[in-house]
């Protein structure tokens, strides 16, 4: 168990990680009945209503809220749903989208003018080798298009991270909920334009209870519970104690996909996962290990 984390808080963090990891399988199952962009629009509708009536509007500018809503709603999840809709397996998607960490660092450094540190180059090389391994093994379940879509979803997620960092909201859950209002118009417009009214009406009329549970799970479990619980933990523990647990998200994503959907875990997938997660671990843990080594060496 991570140091300085009580059993109750550790279990709460694990619950969030499990929800976020298995979420990719939930997406895949729902896409069997719902068009991807419509599904994304439904997700953010339920994330907004009724939560907006119980959470005050965050004290940030409307432009920032709009940027975050567009980047996360349309860019991250719109593209992710399109990719999982027949172009990439949920397990691989759960792994590749974690490259948002490197995109976030790159965008942040470009804006601040900071230089990339040697350990960050090592982390990037490891993760890049993992992505290259996936690209070299594209087949019927994972395509080049799917890989590209998820990489752009990760880039959009990184842009959302930068917007949130600039806003520095005191309540991240309120920020996410109110930003959802700006996700809805473009998602519904894109759904009507690309998926068509007939597909939308057929999906709404004929989707079974499992599809609606999936929409609710995306909105209330993945978004509201996930952000509220994670933010609550970060407010009570150092980020260095909580954030490393996010490395388990692809573990649960790939494991759930293998268990529930029968996604095979070939040696190349395990190698790609080890490389990408190794890169994430180096980037996240190296500064902490270095500080510990310096402190113990004094």
Domain ranges across the chain: 7-106+142-261
Look at residue 211 and give its three-state secondary structure: helix
296 or 40: which leads in pLDDT: 40
Q: What mean pLDDT comes out for the span 142-152?
A: 95
C-alpha distance across the termini of the chain, in Å:
27
Over residues 178-237, the pLDDT tens digits come to 999 999 999 999 999 999 999 999 999 999 999 999 999 999 999 889 888 888 887 787
Say if residue 56 is exposed, middle or buried (CB neighbours under 10 Å; 0-12, 13-18, 19+). Answer: exposed
Look at the block and give the residue holding tokens 């842009």: 159
When mean pLDDT is compared over 165-179, 186-200, 241-255, 277-291, the highest value belongs to 186-200
d(CA 283, CA 25) in angstroms, rounded, equals 27
Q: Cα torsion at 11, 16, 22, 26 (round to 10°)?
A: 130
Q: Is the peptide bond before 271 cis (omega within 30 degrees of 0)?
A: no
Look at the block and give the residue holding tokens 């999906």: 203
Look at residue 264 and give its three-state secondary structure: coil
Is 0.85 topped by the overall pTM?
A: yes
Q: Which pLDDT value is given to residue 1?
A: 47
Q: What is the mean pLDDT of the chain?
A: 90
């Amino acid at each position: 168990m991570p140091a300085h984390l009580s059993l109750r808080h550790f279990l709460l963090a694990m619950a969030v990680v499990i929800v976020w990891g298995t979420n990719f399988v939930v997406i895949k199952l729902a896409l069997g009945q719902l068009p991807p962009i419509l599904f994304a629009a439904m997700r953010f509708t339920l994330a907004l209503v009724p939560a907006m009536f119980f959470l005050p509007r965050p004290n940030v500018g409307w432009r920032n809220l709009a940027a975050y809503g567009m980047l996360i709603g349309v860019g991250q999840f719109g593209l992710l749903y399109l990719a999982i809709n027949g172009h990439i397996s949920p397990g691989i998607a759960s792994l590749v989208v974690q490259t948002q960490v490197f995109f976030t660092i790159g965008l942040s450094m470009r804006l601040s003018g900071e230089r990339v540190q040697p350990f960050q180059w090592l982390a990037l090389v490891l993760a890049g080798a993992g992505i290259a391994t996936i690209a070299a093994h594209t087949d019927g379940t994972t395509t080049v298009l799917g890989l590209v879509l998820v990489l752009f979803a990760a880039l959009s997620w990184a842009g959302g991270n930068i917007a949130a960092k600039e806003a520095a909201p005191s309540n991240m859950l309120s920020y996410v909920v109110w930003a959802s209002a700006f996700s809805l118009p473009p998602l519904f417009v894109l759904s009507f334009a690309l998926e068509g009214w007939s597909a939308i009406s057929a999906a709404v009329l004929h989707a079974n209870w499992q599809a609606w549970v999936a929409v609710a799970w995306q909105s209330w479990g993945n978004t509201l519970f996930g952000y509220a619980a994670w933010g609550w933990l970060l407010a009570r523990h150092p980020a260095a104690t909580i954030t490393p647990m996010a490395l388990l998200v692809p573990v649960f994503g790939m494991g759930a996909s293998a268990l529930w959907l029968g996604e095979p875990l070939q040696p190349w997938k395990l190698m790609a996962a080890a490389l990408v997660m190794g890169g994430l671990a180096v980037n996240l843990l190296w500064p902490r290990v270095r500080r510990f080594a310096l402190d113990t060496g004094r």
